[in-house]
A and B are shown apart, each in its own frame.
Chain A
Amino acid sequence: MSQAEAGAAGAVAARGAVPGATAPPAVPRVTAAGYAALFVSELGLVFRRARTMALLGILAALPVLIGVVVRLRTGGARGEGPAFIAQVTQNGLFLVFTALAVALPVFLPMTVGVVAGDAVAGEASGGTLRYLLVAPAGRTRLLAAKFCAALAYCLVATGVIALSALATGAALFPLGEVTLLSGDTISAGDALLRALLVALVVAASLGGLVAIGLFVSTLTTSGIAAMATTVVLVITVQILDTFPQLEAVQPYLFTHRWLSFSDLLRQPMHWDNVLADLGLQAVYAAVFGSAAWARFTSRDVTG
């Protein structure tokens, strides 16, 4: 165990581009503590980046923008625009759902694509990957740590949108009982719980994209290329999702059921589509995660 921790410590040291720390030659054992250290180190790598902070800042600004626009443009003429936006004027809590629905198709996958696409390729192009692999942490565990760190980013990004929307909604609009899509009315406390659940489902919906981004990231040594490919892929898939001719394929597109989180805003909650979405994400994570693993554990690291 101490060896594994030493290995993880070596990984941290390598990240700072300090190649002096020679790794112990012994074979590391797989331990939870060693993995946790690696994961924490990855988290630090993701969240200490100025780029990540800027992305989170954009995500936080989005609900504020929506809230201010809705507030300024509401001259009693409700019913314009999507229903979710119209509801915001009556209840600030709805801004959470509105902001998530607006951010999910483009903003969230874009930032997730940046983080996941950069995970391996960025280090390869930066030259830090080779030092990282000298440390006997194991490529499999390194990849797993990167996957989990990117998933954690999804959670944080979704949480930032939800919290910013909640604060903006509370500041600009009245709070109170929420009317669900099925016409039932629930208290503000229940609505908060549902908002939490929705945010979790939205974060989990990005799991498939994380695996795809990680796989793309193992294919190239250019971080920019990996990020761009992932983002373009998300947009392409969503465009394909709109063609009626592709109806037979669409249920298998990973973006197809992203908006199913709205089914949790019914009484009783309708889980079929949400579970189908989560299952689909699990399949994508398994397929592209194993592809990333196959590629990453067998490729020559030249960067």
Chain B
Amino acid sequence: MSEMTEQPEPVAYRSRRRALVRVAVPIAVVAAVGAGIGLVPALASDNGPSLPSVTAQQLVAKALGSDTQALSGTVQVKADLGVPTQLLGLAGGAAGSRKAGGADPTAKLTALLGGQHTLQVAVDGPDHQRVGLVEDLAGYELVHNGADVWAWDSSSNEAQHLKAPQDAAGRAAARQPSGPVSGLPVTPQEAAGRFLAMSAGTTSVTVDGTTTVAGRSAYRLVVKPLQKGSTIGQVRIAVDAATGVPLSVQAMAAAGGTALDVHFSSVSFAKPAASAFVFTVPKGAKVTEHGADGARAGKGAPAPEPAGTAPRPKVVGEGWTSVVEAALPTGGPASGDAHGGKGATGALGSLSMLKGFGKQVTGGTLISTKVLNVLVTDDGRVFAGAVTLPVLQSAAGVK
């Protein structure tokens, strides 16, 4: 410290040298920070933990047969399907706009198809699930507790309440972990289940080393379509070595790039407290009630999907090249609600709007994204799938 007191004499030389030495300190700090940002993820992903080797079949059996019933954690969802955001808005809007308040799950979860989102999930068996969408200065909650399904939106303070069916079909629909009110995969388990359940004839599954996800050791499964015509190149799934729970799912587009990345950033396999699944209506919240059969008790808001009675789009083909067929107005691939609210004008409006996004091809309009391709035929049918255009055209019977 002594040299810091003012020295009137040979200032010029000494202070310049001192300045150079001093400047090295912030540069060293910057370098250390930069190295930390660059190196830590690289080190973490490079060398996976050493685990006993398993075959792909064993691993798939382990993942699908995992009997882990309870977990909680934080899930990061990053989707880059290349879908125009206006189209997402259209899909969400068509499904949920007809007076459905801010608490409509379909509209909310459609937003997950674009951008990066954080979810807090808690699962305890097939009857108790909770998903919280973490938004800036706002939150959105889906709570499934036995016979009750609640959806609540903090920004509008509106809630939707659904009495879940107690029959077998309803339970089966609710069995998908933490996807109680949506058709979209919001957790790694759900997403992995979809890819792993593809039939063996259409899929190649290999084990590709080990990795670490959310601080846990995991095997890495690589799932590739064998069929021609899929726009998905491969899917990487990290399966927890201890429990068999899928911890992360990455779908890579055939054209390159990650289309979907769903992974736990933190996870606990402790049983969540029962209070986590209790939802009491906040003071002043507006509640819309729905019947058990999906009938609209409220003012025309569409029933959430798990009731299982909403008409679903037809599926053409199988495995990786399956194509979803629907009729306008549908609001796109994510929604199956085809109740014509406005009739012909709505259909024409949607058709012309869709055509604005797409380009003309034989048989209709193609809306092409990184992974998802949608063909809107001139007679108002919609074919969508993670497949190339010829597959869509043959499904539509064009040519």
Contact = CB atoms under 8 A, between A and B. Distances in A.
B136 A259 contact: yes
A101 B137 contact: yes
Contact of B30 (A141, A177, A287, A301): A287
Nearest to B272: A268
A270 B134 contact: yes
A179 B283 contact: yes
B2 A262 contact: no
B25 A83 contact: no
Given A140-B4, A293-B22, A298-B18, A183 B279 contact: yes
Nearest to B30: A287
Q: Main SS of chain B's interface residues? A: mixed
A218 B140 CA distance: 46
Interface residues of B, number: 42
A291 interface: yes
Contact of A266 (B5, B132, B156, B283): B132
A290 B25 contact: yes
Contact of A287 (B29, B141, B159): B29
Contact of A268 (B23, B120, B152): B120
A272 B74 contact: yes
B68 interface: no
B284 interface: yes
A177 B284 CA distance: 12
B118 A270 contact: yes
Nearest to A301: B6
Contacts of B285: 179
Given A272-B265, A298-B15, A83 B156 contact: yes
Nearest to A27: B2
Interface string A253-275: 00000010011001010101100
B54 interface: no
A227 B148 CA distance: 56
Interface stretch (A111-119, A130-138, A165-173): A130-138
Q: Main SS of chain A's interface residues? A: helix
B154 interface: yes
Given A182-B141, A270-B118, A286-B29, A294 B23 contact: yes
Nearest to A294: B22
B6 A185 contact: no
A182 B150 CA distance: 12
B282 A183 contact: yes
Contacts of A181: 137-139, 154
A75 interface: no
Interface in B149-186: 150, 152, 154-157, 159
A80 B204 CA distance: 53
A111 B282 CA distance: 37
A298 B284 CA distance: 61
Contacts of B22: 293-295, 297-298
B19 A298 contact: yes
Interface of B: 1-2, 4-6, 11, 15, 18-19, 22-23, 25-26, 29-30, 33, 74, 118, 120, 132, 134, 136-139, 141, 143, 150, 152, 154-157, 159, 265-266, 279-280, 282-285
Interface of A: 27-28, 30, 79, 82-84, 86-87, 90, 101, 133-134, 136, 138-141, 176-177, 179-183, 185, 259, 262-263, 266, 268, 270, 272-273, 283, 286-288, 290-291, 293-295, 297-301
Which 3 pairs from chain A and chain B are nearest by CB? A181-B139, A294-B22, A298-B19
23 contacts: A30-B1, A84-B137, A90-B283, A133-B6, A138-B5, A141-B1, A179-B284, A182-B132, A182-B154, A183-B143, A183-B159, A183-B282, A262-B136, A263-B134, A270-B134, A287-B30, A288-B26, A293-B22, A294-B23, A294-B25, A295-B22, A299-B19, A300-B11
